[in-house]
Amino acid sequence: MALRDACAELTAPLIEVHISNVYAREDFRHHSYLSPVATG
């Protein structure tokens, strides 16, 4: 995924924020591709 690869190359901290409870939504929203490369 190009966005994940670009985020992995960042030297600044990357913070992933959700404005809704993703676990209360559809199953496909339960997995984040950016979390492994996010700082917090």
DSSP letter string, 1-40: -HHHHHHHT-SS------SS-GGGS-GGGG--SSGGG---
The pLDDT assigned to 12 comes to: 94
User: pTM for the whole thing?
Assistant: 0.65
Residue 9 structural domain: 2-37
How far is 11 from 26, CA to CA, in rounded Å? 32
Total number of domains in the chain: 1
Q: What pLDDT digit, counting tens, does each position of 15-40 carry?
A: 999 999 999 999 999 989 899 999 97
Classify each residue of 9-34 as buried b or exposed e, where b means 16 or more C-beta atoms within 10 Å of its C-beta.
Answer: eeeeeeeeeeeeeeeeeeeeeeeeee
